[in-house]
Amino acid sequence: MQHGAAGLDRELDEVSEHIKALDPTGRRFARVLRDTIDQLLNGEATGRYDWKTLYKTEKTHAGTLVEINLQREFRFADGAAMDYQIAGVDVDCKYSQQFGGWMIPPEAMGHICLLAWADDYKSLWSVGLVRIRDEWLNTGINRDLKLTLKAGHREKIKWLWRDEDLPENVLLHMDAADRAAVFAADSGQRRLNELFRRVQRRRIGRNVVRTVAQQKDYMKRVRGNGGSRSALRAEGILIMGDYASHRAVAGQLGLPLPEEGEFVSARVVTSRLRHGDAPSVSLDGKRWVLAQTDDPVEPAPALPSHTGQG
């Protein structure tokens, strides 16, 4: 085992290279962190969307869930003494919602730790690696003898991703009055209609839909045939899903592209001279642009057909 000062740790570099090869962009890590927070909130059953509303025991469980979900996603082997074996090296996994709050157990001394952080309020996440040294940890004793990394030694962390964008928890960040209006509706379908009406031009994830609908068939509530897509068409609102054909429409209109399980809604109108060279898309034999606030409402065109569901 060859390890010494930061930058001279061959094992740490090998673990780093292995992880980056599995997830070059960090999108898989971001998705696991987003999904784990959503799993804890359990919005479909509880209607919760805010980390602060979790019970203390649920927050404590977050680290274990992140560890499990990362192992499931990346199929890391079990470690001999630590959580994982990555590139033949034992690696412990620690998560904290508070930056720097990673609780390091005594048995991790001398081992590499994968440190994960995600903050739903800042919509940011980071993941890094560090080999634990006694002199880098805060002194102090708690019941299980876990210690934290001294703030002055956080520069020893080899960051794989630092302050990357966490997929947004739209319910947490939307206007409070709009959110109240969404939840005031008396059925899952009406709540979803209100969501897509009030939250436009932003990616809305599957978990937001699940939390608002609070119904098992929540995805069906978005689609045509009586779902939000057909209900809001008369108001000029398109709801694009993650199909290639829908993403193409969103891209041509200059909207964020829906990722897997995401939707983007926007009101559109037929393109007129006054819209100038605004981004436009051809649908139903006409050119359409994003509506301005003073554009009169007109029914939206049909979205391109697609195969599958979503």
| More confident of the two residues 221 and 303 | 303
Residue tagged 């978990």 (tokens): 207
What's the CA gap between 193 and 99, in Å, rounded? 37
Q: Which of 181-185, 197-201, 211-215 has the lowest mean pLDDT?
A: 211-215
pLDDT for res 83: 96
Q: How many residues does the chain have?
A: 310
| pLDDT of the residue at 152 | 64
Which tens digit of pLDDT belongs to each residue from 16-70?
999 999 999 999 999 999 999 999 999 989 999 999 999 999 998 999 999 999 9
Q: Over range 227-234, report the average pLDDT.
A: 92
Phi, psi (degrees; rounded to nearest 5) at 153 = -110, 5
Rounded mean pLDDT, 163-171: 94
Q: Name the pTM for this structure.
A: 0.85
CA distance 65 to 83: 12
Look up residue 273 and give its DSSP letter.
G
Cross-sheet strand order for the sheet of 280-283: 237-240, 264-270, 286-290, 280-283
Looking only at the bridges linking them, the beta strands covering 89-96 and 84-86 are: antiparallel
- Please give the angle made by the CA atoms of 293, 295 and 298, to the nearest 5 degrees: 120
pLDDT, tens digit, for every residue of 105-152?
A: 888 889 999 999 999 999 999 999 999 887 667 666 555 556 777 676
Q: How does the average pLDDT of the chain come out, rounded? A: 90
Question: In this structure, what token pair is assigned to residue 37?
Answer: 């927070």
